[in-house]
Amino acid sequence: MRKDYIAATEPADHETKFVEKYWTTVWEREGGPQGHIDRIPNKDEYHAMAPYMGALPQNARILDGGCGLGDWTLFFARRGFSVVGLDLSHQTVKQLRTRFPEVEFVDGDIRQTNFPNSSFDAYFSWGVFEHFESGLQECVREAFRILKPGGQLFVTVPLDNLRHAFLGTFARPYPIESVLRFYQWRLTLAELARELAIGGFEVQKVHPIHKRQGVLRGLHHEFGLPYESLLTKALSVMLASFIPASFISHMAFAVARKPSHGADSKLKCNS
């Protein structure tokens, strides 16, 4: 697992406060919740999880852990599922509740929720489990607790792809004057699978996603090309067609299942 750092002006403690404030600022900058549910069917995560979601009964209860602007929560709510969006950003959740009172949004921490054991048939979480320096296990174990036996977990985390491994080998030390703090973990596919297995899950699938996003980031960080330029976008489409996914993809996607039988004893063995 590889650590990413971010420039910061705050002291290194108050990690939860830092994450909450950071994302509240990001969502404010984006203009708050807009309900862009039309964007969901084009997302890589959607294609990866669709076959499993299609098998769920219509009354299935689903958790969107770290729902951000709530687009995914709203998408599944409109499809008739009983879905809850949970996020650490108090302000964003308040705005979501005001704008979309018909959908359940909860202010909270995925590491310690107030949901009873075995509450959900499915739980998805995109780009959230990686934000705490102590690692992913608190998120994984809480997911295991609140899923029903046989329940499905869908997760993405930043991929420690071959580009990062290559750059890491030749990395220069951070300038001494920089004030940096932990931002996120990056995991290889095998590391993500291991984290889920340690938490008691049966891992069904792990693969790279967001290949073009990974190319865009490479072009921006290594060659200084602006994200929004037409040249960068055209180059990213072209390069993504032949660069291997494991070299460049931005995220790792996993599907895992809480075992139907003996789930609690397995968890004890691993703890």
Ligand X SMILES: C[S@@+](CC[C@H](N)C(=O)[O-])C[C@H]1O[C@@H](n2cnc3c(N)ncnc32)[C@H](O)[C@@H]1O
Binding site for ligand X (CB under 6 A): 19, 23, 66-68, 86-89, 109-111, 126-128, 131
Task: Tell how many helices (H) and how many strands (E) occur in the chain.
Answer: 11, 9
Which CB sits closer to ligand X, 65 or 200?
Answer: 65
Closest CA to 108 of 1, 19, 180, 189: 19
* H-helix or E-strand spanning residue 253: strand 251-257
197 in Cβ contact with 144 (< 8 Å): no
Q: Between residues 87 and 195, which has the closer beta carbon with respect to ligand X?
A: 87
Taking residue 54's Cβ as centre, other Cβ atoms within 10 Å add up to: 7
Rg (CA), the chain: 19
Query: φ and ψ at 248, to 5 degrees?
Result: -130, -20
CB of residue 67 to ligand X, shortest distance in Å: 6
Give the angle 13-252-115 at the CA atoms, nearest 5°: 60
Q: Which is nearer to ligand X, 39 or 221 (CB)?
A: 39
Q: In the complex, what is the shortest distance from the CB of residue 19 to ligand X, in angstroms, rounded to a whole number?
A: 5
**Please, what is the minimum distance in Å from the beta carbon of residue 160 to ligand X?**
17
d(CA 219, CA 225): 6
Task: Give me the least distance between CB of 98 and ligand X, in Å please.
Answer: 17
Residue for token pair 């879905």:
83
Based on CB atoms, which residue is closest to ligand X, 156 or 243?
156
Closer residue to ligand X (CB): 105 or 126? 126
Per DSSP, the three-state class of 88 is: coil
Contact 149, 263 (CB under 8 A): yes
Question: CB 117 → ligand X: shortest distance, Å?
Answer: 19
User: For residue 80, how many other CB atoms are within 10 A of its CB?
Assistant: 10
Give, in order, the Cα–Cα distances in Å from 107 to each of 4, 225, 255, 270. Answer: 26, 38, 25, 30
Q: Is the Cβ of residue 128 or residue 143 nearer to ligand X in the bound state?
A: 128
**How far apart are CB 132 and ligand X at their closest, in Å?**
7
User: Burial level of 168, CB count in 10 A (0-12/13-18/19+)?
Assistant: exposed
By beta-carbon proximity to ligand X, the closer residue of 108 and 259 is 108
CB of 227 to ligand X, least distance (A): 16
